[in-house]
Amino acid sequence: MEGVLDHLMRDLLTKIGGYDLCITEFVRVVEHVISDKAYFRACPELKNANAYGCTTQAGTPVRVQLLGQHPNCMGDNAAKVIELGSHGVDINFGCPAKMVNKNRGGAILLKDPENLYQIVSAIKNAVPNDAIVSAKIRLGYEDKNLAIENSQAIEAAGASELTVHARTKVEGYKPPAHWQWIAKIKQNINIPVIANGDIFSAENAQKCREISGCEDIMIGRGALMLPNLGQVVKQQASAMPWAEVQQLLLDYTQYETYGDKSKYYPNRIKQWLKYLKLEYGEADKLFQEVRCLKTAQNIIDKLR
């Protein structure tokens, strides 16, 4: 999740457990092959990929996500991330951001199945045969008329997996997620389909699996709202008590302020508290106390 789920958060959450794979925040591909340095910034797990595979400290594989519209350039960048050691490459066809869509990236591409086909094909042709190429879509841009055609185009171009966020671009993040549409897509293609959208609890996960027919699910905002959601869904764990979340907030402090990242920290911790307060009343109180604090140290003092 762009802007909120960086490698530090991946480390923290995968240490708790329950996750089989992480996808990075999207990396915007425009005209050139992006430098190693930029890829290492987006996905520091690549730095140790040769020795340990591209994984979080807990050993969970990490896949780089690319967002762009030029097939050849996307292919060249995909080849690069695979060479750097990414656990496959994921393509973002779902981003609703105005600026991204204006530049013909993300969800706008869902208006044109042929374009999706060209991008996925170019990536498939550019990477080794055994490299995983996955794609993430929404159900459409304005409406769902092309949901199945888009999915079939992605499969025909050779993608190995498809994740479906069960809403159109226009529906934004407005509930409900239309899990029944994932089932329709799944019935019309043969590659594995991963269900996404509005999974915030074990009950949501079970319902989503029943309706979509998918065993595999992807979690976005829920991972920030309930830090052990992976375990809650997979191992029937109880929700993490607030005292443990408080400790995580302190652990995150050490991560985020380590190595000159402290200028990002106030913003990041406030963003995380905004998600946590949807699950924990205590987080709301804490958010009110830190929202006007501007320096990392002041916030850390308050947390302690």
Ligand X SMILES: Cc1cc2nc3c(=O)[nH]c(=O)nc-3n(C[C@H](O)[C@H](O)[C@H](O)COP(=O)(O)O)c2cc1C
4 sits near ligand X (criterion: CB under 6 A)? yes
Residue nearest to ligand X according to CB distances in the complex: 220
Q: Which of 22, 95, 208, 214 is catalytic?
A: 95
Of 161 and 300, which has the nearer Cβ to ligand X? 161
Q: How far apart are CA 153 and CA 91, in angstroms?
A: 14
Of 80 and 136, which has the nearer Cβ to ligand X? 136
Q: How far apart are CA 219 and CA 163, in angstroms?
A: 11
Which structure tokens are listed for 200?
A: 């915030």
Of 89 and 300, which has the nearer Cβ to ligand X? 89
- Stretch of residues binding ligand X (CB under 6 A), selected from 47-55, 190-198, 248-256, 288-296: 190-198
Show the CA angle centred on residue 154, arms to residues 171 and 190, nearest 5°: 100
**Closest distance between ligand X and the C-beta of residue 99, in Å?**
13
**Closest distance between ligand X and the C-beta of residue 51, in Å?**
27
Of 25 and 279, which has the nearer Cβ to ligand X? 25
**58: buried, middle or exposed (CB in 10 Å: 19+, 13-18, 0-12)?**
middle
DSSP string, 257-297: HTTS-TTTHHHHHHHHHHHHTTT-HHHHHHHHHHTT--SHH
Show the CA angle centred on residue 293, arms to residues 287 and 294, nearest 5°: 130
Task: Determine which residue in the list 9, 14, 26, 74 makes contact with ligand X, applying CB under 6 A.
Answer: 26
Catalytic residue check, 95: yes
Which structure tokens are listed for 16?
A: 């708790």
Nearest to 165 by CA among 228, 272, 72, 92: 92
Task: Determine which residue in the list 63, 165, 178, 268 makes contact with ligand X, applying CB under 6 A.
Answer: 165
Binding mask 205-224 for ligand X (x = CB under 6 A): --------------xxxx--
**Number of neighbours of residue 304 by Cβ within 10 angstroms:** 9
- Stretch of residues binding ligand X (CB under 6 A), selected from 35-43, 50-58, 197-205, 295-303: 197-205
14 sits near ligand X (criterion: CB under 6 A)? no
Alpha helices in 17-161 (DSSP H): 36-42, 49-52, 71-84, 98-102, 113-126, 147-156
- Stretch of residues binding ligand X (CB under 6 A), selected from 2-10, 37-45, 240-248, 261-269: 2-10
**Closest distance between ligand X and the C-beta of residue 198, in Å?**
5
Task: Determine which residue in the list 8, 54, 185, 199 makes contact with ligand X, applying CB under 6 A.
Answer: 199
136 sits near ligand X (criterion: CB under 6 A)? yes
196 sits near ligand X (criterion: CB under 6 A)? yes
Cis peptide before 176 (omega within 30 of 0): yes
Of 197 and 230, which has the nearer Cβ to ligand X? 197
Q: How far apart are CA 39 and CA 36, in angstroms?
A: 5
Angle between helices 265-276 and 296-303 (to 10 degrees): 40
E strand or H helix at 138? strand 133-140
E strand or H helix at 161? strand 161-168
6 sits near ligand X (criterion: CB under 6 A)? no
Task: Determine which residue in the list 11, 25, 45, 171 makes contact with ligand X, applying CB under 6 A.
Answer: 25
Catalog residues that contact ligand X under the rule CB under 6 A.
1-4, 25-26, 65, 92, 94, 136, 165, 196-199, 219-222
**Which residues are known catalytic residues?**
95
